[in-house]
Amino acid sequence: MKSLIYIGDPMCSWCWGMAPELEQVADFCEHRELEFQIKVGGLRPGGGDLWDEKMKDFLRHHWDQVHAATGQPFSFKLLELPTFNYDTEPACRLVVAARKWLGQGNIQWFKQLQKTFYVDSLDLGDISNIRTICRQFDIDFQEFNDHFQSEEIVQATKDDFIETREWGINGYPSLVIKDQHQLTGISYGYSTFQKIRERLEHYLSANSTV
């Protein structure tokens, strides 16, 4: 079965900007019997950037750009924190850990993580901040936390990073179709659902087995 794979990071601002479009993409896939999967690329795994005014201005500028282009809401309260490590590995690991309960392509879980960070200004590196999300998806928080902390999920997250980089993906959001071992790029960077749908329709038409 062909799969459309979304490569992103919950703490990538353009991924948040594209969230409404990606919901429509996932719905399109469901109706066209095209498997929708999510892989995490790892925008800033490990973090370590100096949390100074230069970094805060950089983020504020990009978030303003994304908001202006997409209309997606942003809170800037996070930028008021005296210290913060912009490490996106834990956020990505939250996506990987949730596969046990929600499968490979639950865009709503991904979106709720994004909202928690960009709208609620909560640190996704503090797993206690996703208790409410677990409740929304009927996932036992303690069981999820144990799974999230396991070496198995730490390694599975690294595997996503390695695999997507081997595909040549270094920017997010990106969409590729995987058909057995063949990869076809559909979208790199922000794009609208209309443009993505046109590319998908073209691909599916050109690769129809009928």
Residue ranges of domains in the chain: 3-206
Per-residue confidence band for 110, with pLDDT thresholds at 50, 70 and 90: very high
Q: What is the DSSP letter of 77?
A: G
**Residue 105 and residue 36 in contact, taking contact as beta carbons nearer than 8 Å:** yes
Specify whether the backbone of 9 is left (phi greater than 0), alpha (psi in -120 to 50) or beta.
Answer: beta
Q: What is the pTM for the complete model shown? A: 0.96
pLDDT tens by residue, 121-150: 999 999 999 999 999 999 999 999 999 999
Instruction: Give which of 179, 196, 178 is closest to 187, Cα–Cα.
Output: 196
Whose CA is closest to 127, among 146, 110, 111? Answer: 146
Dist. CA 204–CA 29, nearest whole Å: 11
User: Angle 43-185-182 (CA atoms, 0-180°, nearest 5)?
Assistant: 110
Sign of CA dihedral 135, 141, 145, 146: negative
What DSSP string runs through 107-156?
A: HHHHHHHHHHHHTS---TTSGGGGHHHHHHTT--HHHHHHHHHSHHHHHH
pLDDT on residue 209: 58
Q: What is the pLDDT of residue 150?
A: 98
Q: What is the CATH number of domain 3-206?
A: 3.40.30.10
pLDDT tens for 23-80 read 999 999 999 889 999 999 999 999 999 999 999 999 999 999 999 999 999 999 999 9
- In sequence order, what are the residues at sequence separation of 6 or more whose Cβ sits closer than 8 angstroms to the Cβ of residue 93? 40, 148, 153, 154, 157
Q: What is the mean pLDDT of the chain?
A: 96
